[in-house]
């Protein structure tokens, strides 16, 4: 199957490759490994559409791995705000500094795996796409395509070793990077989770799930556990058209990010802390947000007293420029709620 699948898929990719800002078109010189690595980190748990504007802003601000390595971590964290999974940003800076110290990216999958924050997938993707190495690249799109192509019926995540082994058999020695991106594009455009456009698919003749008449049944996914819910309170403290922001601890939930002060919900599950200033408060509404492992309802308490003096360390940030503070999505939602109600 391998030669047939890879040849057909690469021929399809040559005509149908997505134009993405981190890619080199088929037949062009391979892309800058910095751009490949940065895009792959951003794309973890995040859609292509959401990543593109962040990628373009990042590469305009820090056009090379050396520039990113020299950037203050707080600036990178602020630019990352809105992408979520903020540990990725901290690891990004850490990894960039190691790469800069080494004088550039290593070119093999094994050496790339030694860099901080690079897992098996990212190392394989950079090795294949940026350096032309033969590496087996398996993301969620590839899992779906290969599960259907080989009719792998064991539920995820237990089926991942079988999926990887099957992908190994069809990955070509030449153009492994283009092949990996072709698999991703096929899964993003034709062989999607909700549809299987088999009549347009270059691999339809080889697809076992199609021949059995049930491609949408694959991949089989284990039932998700219900996510727990948390509650908490964020505090809006305003004085002289400026709002009080704090910096969260470097580790833990949303570590190192600017945020509104809160009641400690991230540490205890439910918030039971004291308000950061004394005086009268009024309800500012509730925002809801989903993290990886839990959902939260965050009430917003607005200080109604005159000229508050907050406890602890923080900074007064101009209310009119709150969008520039780099708040994590949860607190950005809270800020927008307060301002919308006031307007």
Residues marked as catalytic: 40
Report H helices in 171-318.
176-189, 208-212, 265-268
Beta-bridge partner residues of 300: 234
Q: What's the Rg (C-alpha) of the chain?
A: 24
Q: How many residues does the chain have?
A: 343
Which H helix or E strand runs over 229?
Answer: strand 229-236
Cα dist from 153 to 3, 168, 205, 219, whole Å: 24, 18, 19, 7
Q: Determine the Cα–Cα distance for residues 44 and 41; give it in Å rounded to an integer.
A: 6
**Torsion angle, alpha carbons of 65, 69, 71, 72, to 10:** 150
What gap in Å lies between CA 152 and CA 49, rounded to an integer?
A: 29
Angle at CA of residue 34, ends 140 and 55, nearest 5°: 65
243 Ramachandran zone, left/alpha/beta (phi>0; psi -120 to 50):
beta
DSSP state of 255: T
Kindly report the backbone phi and psi dihedral angles of residue 198, in degrees, each rounded to the nearest multiple of 5, phi listed first. -65, -30
Rounded to an integer, what distance in angstroms lies between the CA atom of residue 275 and that of residue 57? 37
């Amino acid at each position: 199957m391998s030669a047939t699948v890879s040849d057909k898929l690469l021929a399809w990719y040559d005509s149908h490759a997505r134009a993405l800002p981190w890619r080199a078109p088929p037949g062009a010189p391979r892309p800058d490994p910095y751009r490949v690595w940065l895009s792959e980190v951003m794309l973890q748990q995040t859609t292509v559409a959401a990543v593109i504007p962040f990628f373009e802003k990042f590469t305009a601000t820090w056009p090379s791995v050396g520039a990113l390595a020299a950037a203050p971590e707080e600036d990178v964290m602020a630019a990352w705000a809105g992408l979520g999974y903020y540990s990725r940003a901290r690891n990004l800076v850490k990894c960039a500094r190691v790469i800069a110290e080494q004088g550039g990216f290593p070119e093999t999958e094994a050496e790339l795996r030694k860099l901080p924050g690079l897992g098996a997938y990212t190392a394989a993707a950079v090795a294949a796409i940026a350096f032309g190495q033969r590496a087996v690249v398996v993301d969620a799109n590839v899992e779906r395509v290969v599960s259907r192509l080989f009719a792998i019926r064991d539920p995820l995540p237990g089926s991942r070793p079988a999926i990887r082994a099957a992908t190994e058999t069809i990955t070509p020695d030449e153009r492994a990077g283009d092949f990996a991106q072709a698999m991703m594009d096929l899964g993003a455009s034709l062989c999607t989770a909700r549809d299987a456009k088999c009549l347009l698919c270059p691999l339809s003749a080889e697809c076992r799930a199609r021949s059995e008449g049930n491609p949408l049944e694959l991949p089989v996914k284990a039932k998700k556990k219900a996510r727990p819910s948390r509650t908490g309170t964020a505090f809006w403290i305003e004085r002289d058209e400026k709002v009080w922001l704090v910096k969260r601890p470097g580790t833990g939930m949303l570590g190192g990010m600017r945020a509104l002060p809160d009641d400690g919900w991230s540490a205890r599950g439910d918030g039971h802390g004291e308000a950061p200033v004394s005086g009268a408060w009024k309800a500012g509404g509730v925002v809801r947000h989903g993290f990886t492992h839990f959902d939260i309802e965050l009430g917003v308490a607005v200080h109604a007293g005159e000229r508050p003096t907050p406890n602890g360390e923080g900074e007064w940030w101009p209310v009119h420029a709150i969008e520039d503070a780099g708040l994590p999505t949860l607190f950005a939602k809270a800020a927008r709620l307060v301002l919308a109600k006031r307007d």
